[in-house]
A and B are shown apart, each in its own frame.
Chain A
Amino acid sequence: MIRRRYRPRLSLALAVASGLALATPALLAKPKHEAQPKVESTRLDIPALKKQLAGSEQEVVAALGTIGESQNPEGWPLVNEVLVRGGTEAIVEEALKAAGKLKSPALSASIAPYVQHRTPEIRRAAARALVKTKGPAAVAALSKALRSGDASVRGTAATGLGELGARESIKDLFNAFDHGVGEAAAAIGQLCKPEECEDFAQRTGRVTFDVMQTGFDQILFRPASEISDDDKLKLVGRMRELGTVEVGKYLADVGERWPKDWSKKVKQAIDSAAHAAAAGAKK
């Protein structure tokens, strides 16, 4: 089952991988009332596009570009046909981009084999597309991709499984995290039950804080119906024990982002821990 939850604007895990500063507010988990605005789709000339898709590589790529930009769900059968038929690297990459933009779960099954393609760029693009098209086929393909020899595919798969709410993958995500797939931290944070979140938190100290933090952030900003305030307080307490500058800065940022109508008790604990960590670090 795919559940709605607070989502980061950009995957924190990807931020870690690309070396971006973790405290950048734009990269952190946000409350759900800030959901992205809906984009209007444009109309498609299906007969003309079909003709174009039977043409040269350039024509096919252009047609796929048009379909993708349109974000019109009517375009998915055309993209699907290209994916099933196969094509040059340029065509396949464009088809995968278009599929990602159309966000149609019906495309996931035809995207899935490309996660196993021998060309790294294609399999990475396929993994990224699956995160957007979603659906059971996407979850199955991303679960398999978590076992890939390609670190980039593993990372995208982990992120995707978190974003797709694939609870059934939680064991594999823990396994991946313990095998050094840092992106699995955020996914675990998105999916864990309280006892699993605690299991994750116990890795603090063994895994660097910048990686753990991506999971903590997801846990802290999950609704109280999923993670209780008591569990969040426990987590804040665990971070407070670390008492580093890094923790202090991070918790201060969490405090700023904390929704006004959420638990005051947790907010107080976050602020206090941030203050204590900063003070402890100065000493």
Chain B
Amino acid sequence: MSTPTVRFASALAAVLAVGCGSASLRGPAFKDDWQDDGGRGIAAVAAKLSGAHVAESKGFVVGVTTSGLVGMGLDGSGRWTHPGLPDSRPSIAGGVVVYTAGGKLVALDCANGRELWQVDVGNDKRLRGAGDDGSTTVASIAGESGGRTLVVAVSRNGSVIQRWKPDPDVGVPAVLGNIVFAPWDSQYVSALDVGDGSEVGRVLARNVVSRAVAIGGSLYFGENALVKFDAAIASASRGDAHVVKLPERELPGKPTWFPSGVQALPVAAGAPDAIRFYARPVERDGKLGLDSQRFAATYFRIVVGFNESDAALKWTRTLPAEVIAGDAASGGFLFCDVTGAVWFTDARAGGASGKVSLGTPLKACVVSAGSFSVPMGSDSGSLTAQLSEAIELREEQMATIQRFLLRELGTNESDPSVTKTLLDLASDARTQPDVLAEARTLLAGRRNGVEYMLGALERHYDFLSDVLRPPPVGPLADALAAIGERRAAPLLAAHLNDPADTPNDARHAAHALLKLASPSELGAVRTFFSLYHSTADEEDLIAAAVDAARILVQLGGAEGASVVERAARDPLTVPAVREAIASLTPNMKSG
């Protein structure tokens, strides 16, 4: 976690400077020839608002259905419905839900769905997002195809206090104490006076800023990292503000923490909504970090929890339906799925800690945790069990995350049940090809779970018993040979002559038998050699035939050697085999 040292001295200097001549820092909003004032203007704003907190709601969820909106409190209270059909994704700002429809900007009370106000914003306008401080709502609205930004501040009684029509695209704004914070041009946050519309300060950030968000009573600006609005904000242009970033973690689908605030999100949720990061910044011991030291990632039905400090996987949770929205709360995460259920997940261990339901299928969902606190979850089982559940989901869409989880599972080298999970996957005809390949690779590296491995090798393809995928003989052969497990020899020998196993499996079985075989396996090895020394038509079978010859020489005494010698002299033996076995016996070496 990046937590820069706060340069309080510089911030303090800036505040003092503003205190002496703040009037000179006021100017037109969104000026594009603005010169960096060293943070003096924004420092003054921060100083003015230092005691102010954005009022937090108790936490709400709002869903978009085919017939309108449905909402309720995260505590399960006050379910309501509203017939309005939004034309872009609604936004929850404090205790207000805001949406655009038919040229109107509409605000509802999140607690009961009652309409608070509606104002004209012009046809073809789409809501990008909104903020609210308990008395004023501010919204950024775009034209249907982007551009033509309108930022509007509306009082609780519905009167429009201020309108801005800037040239640049403005992202999701926030408001606090009569100051609107409007992010734009990916790097600026303009602090605008609601009263006269002027700009009273500006943040020049070193991270991408397209939204201002209120979390835990504080304001943050950013997109893939959040810079906190506090006294250190004046140092943002020098990279010295309080910034919270998620550790780098390469994940399937490349999840984002927040989508770009300058895009009006479509009404219906899509894949980007299902593939997201969630984290809640908190200040801890004077430093900015993440609540519960965890962040979570969603991938459709699978949710994964990571440790803040090293991004290590801590838990996974498999949900019954696709997640389309969520939020990070105190102590946990809230995931809203397409069925309208909101699942509470304990941040530390990923345990289930409750659920509320909107009771109807959703096109889209918006969750705002507010001050809602997720209680400690129920026992969620071992990480291996959690990973196994996620990996064993038979959904094609899940293959990418399952491969990722498999690799994570494979890092647990001490737990034999990991071997079992890998075996189950590798033996199941329904396993996706990519997941199968990964499971086989990991199995070859296992050094425990021997009993599971031997049990798997006892199985063969069997049409009548519906065993339609043979066990992963090759990886098991590698693993058992590395362990030196001689009990595997008869089982591997039986697989050597099973045409349902791949030639590559046969190759690995033969190679393992070089180390593990006893004279009891000579019959099967000799059969294999007889069948393939003249018919092996691919590299794997050639290599297997050569290893079979080695075993015959090694364990078969004179009879075994004579079989090999005869094949070495036989012009009908496959040339590559003949060449490789040409000098395996003393007679052949001398002859």
- A176 with B464: in contact, given A91-B572, A123-B499 (CB under 8 Å)? yes
B464 in contact with A117 (CB, 8 Å): no
A116 and B460 alpha carbons, distance in the complex (Å): 12
List the A side residues contacting B534 at CB < 8 Å: 86-88, 91
Q: Quote the shortest CB–CB distance from B532 to chain A (angstroms).
A: 8
A116-B497 CB under 8 A given contacts A56-B571, A89-B535, A92-B535: yes
The smallest C-beta distance from B108 to any residue of chain A, in angstroms, reads 59
A250 within 8 A of B: no
Report which of A60, A86, A123, A147 forms a contact with B533, defined as CB distance below 8 A. A86
Q: Which of B464, B468, B529 contacts A86 (CB 8 A)?
A: B529
The CA-CA distance from A170 to B148 in the complex, in Å, is: 80
> Which residue of B has the minimal Cβ distance to A172?
B464
Taking CB atoms and an 8 Å cut-off, the chain B residues in 318-373 that contact chain A are none
Q: Give Cα distance in the complex from A206 to B571, angstroms.
A: 55
* Residue A225, interface by CB 8 Å: no
Please name the residue on chain A nearest to B463 by beta carbon. A147
Distance, CA A114 to CA B497, complexed state (A): 9
User: Given contacts A84-B530, A86-B529, are A57 and B572 in contact (CB under 8 A)?
Assistant: yes
- With an 8 A cutoff between CB atoms, is B233 at the interface? no
| Per-residue interface assignment for chain B, residues 557 to 577, with 1 indicating a CB less than 8 Å from any chain A CB and 0 otherwise | 000000000100001100000
CB-defined contacts of A36 to chain B, threshold 8 Å: none
| A123–B541 CA distance with the chains assembled, in angstroms | 17
Q: Does B434 contact A (CB under 8 A)?
A: no
Residues of B near A150 (CB, < 8 A) are 499
Instruction: Report the contact-size class of chain A (Cβ under 8 Å from the partner).
Output: 20 to 34
Q: In the complex, which residue of chain B has the Cβ closest to the Cβ of A174? A: B464
Is the CB of B66 closer than 8 A to any CB of chain A? no
In the bound assembly, the distance between CA atoms of A84 and B527 in angstroms comes to 8
Question: A91 to B530, alpha carbons, bound, how many Å?
Answer: 13
* Count of chain B residues near A, Cβ 8 A: 23
B35 on interface, CB distance cutoff 8 Å: no
CA distance A179 to B500 in the complex (A): 18
Say yes or no: is B465 at the interface (Cβ < 8 Å to chain A): yes
Contact A117 B531 (CB under 8 A): yes
Bound: A57/B530 CA distance, A: 16
The complex places the Cα of A123 from the Cα of B535 at a distance, in Å, of 13
Contacts of B497 in A (CB 8 A): 113, 116
**Residues of chain A from 75 to 93 with CB closer than 8 A to chain B in the complex:** 84-89, 91-92
Query: Is the Cβ of A179 less than 8 Å from the Cβ of B464?
Result: yes
Q: Is the CB of B527 within 8 A of A147?
A: no
B527 to chain A: which residues have CB within 8 Å?
Answer: 113
Are A147 and B531 neighbours in the complex by a CB distance under 8 Å? no
What B residues does A179 contact at CB under 8 A?
463-464
For residue A262, give the distance in angstroms from its CB to the closest CB of chain B.
36
Q: B533 — which chain A residues lie within 8 A by C-beta?
A: 86
Give the residues in chain B near A117, CB-CB below 8 Å. 499, 531, 535
- Contact among B463, B531, B571 for A148, CB-based, below 8 A: B463
User: Is B531's CB under 8 angstroms from A149's CB?
Assistant: no
**A239 within 8 Å of B by Cβ?**
no
**Interface code B441-470, partner A: CB below 8 Å = 1, 0 otherwise?**
000000000000000000001111100100
In the assembled complex, the CB of B47 is this many whole angstroms from the nearest CB of chain A, namely 77
Q: How far is the CA of A84 from the CA of B531 in the complex (A)?
A: 9
Contact of B461 among A84, A91, A149 (CB under 8 A): A149
Contact B535 A119 (CB under 8 A): yes
A89 → chain B, closest Cβ, in Å? 6
Residues of A within 8 A of B464 (CB): 146-147, 172, 175-176, 179
Closest Cβ of chain A: how far from B240's Cβ, in Å? Answer: 67
Contact call A149/B535, Cβ cutoff below 8 A:
no
CB of A154 within 8 A of chain B? yes
Interface flag for B95 (CB, 8 Å): no
B461 CB to closest chain A CB (Å) equals 6
Chain B positions within 8 Å of A38 at CB level:
none
Cα separation A92 to B529 with both chains bound (whole Å):
14
Q: How far is the CA of A179 from the CA of B498 in the complex (A)?
A: 21
A172 to B463, CA, bound (A): 11
Indicate if A118 sits at the interface (CB-CB under 8 A). Answer: yes
**Residues on A with beta carbons closer than 8 Å to the beta carbon of B261:** none
* Set B468, B498, B530, B571: member contacting A85, Cβ < 8 A: B530
List the A side residues contacting B541 at CB < 8 Å.
Answer: 118
Interface residues of A in 87-133 (CB under 8 A from B): 87-89, 91-92, 113-114, 116-119, 122-123
With a cutoff of 8 Å between Cβ atoms, the chain A residues found around residue B529 in the complex are: 86
Report yes or no: A149 in contact with B500, Cβ–Cβ below 8 A: yes
Q: Does B503 interact with chain A (Cβ within 8 Å)?
A: yes
Contact A118 B499 (CB under 8 A): yes
Residue on B with the closest CB to A92?
B535
Q: Is the CB of B531 within 8 A of A114?
A: yes
- Give Cα A134 to B46, complex, Å: 96
Told that A114-B531, A175-B464 touch, could you supply 8 new A-B pairs with CB distance under 8 A? A85-B530, A86-B531, A113-B497, A122-B535, A146-B464, A147-B465, A148-B463, A149-B499
22 contacts between A and B (CB under 8 A): A56-B571, A56-B572, A84-B530, A85-B530, A86-B533, A86-B534, A92-B535, A114-B531, A116-B497, A116-B498, A118-B532, A118-B541, A119-B535, A146-B463, A147-B462, A147-B464, A149-B463, A149-B468, A150-B499, A172-B464, A176-B463, A179-B463
Shortest 5 CB-CB contacts between residues of A and residues of B: A86-B530, A118-B499, A147-B462, A175-B464, A113-B527
Residues of chain B touching chain A, judged by Cβ–Cβ distance below 8 Å, are 461-465, 468, 497-500, 503, 527, 529-535, 541, 566, 571-572
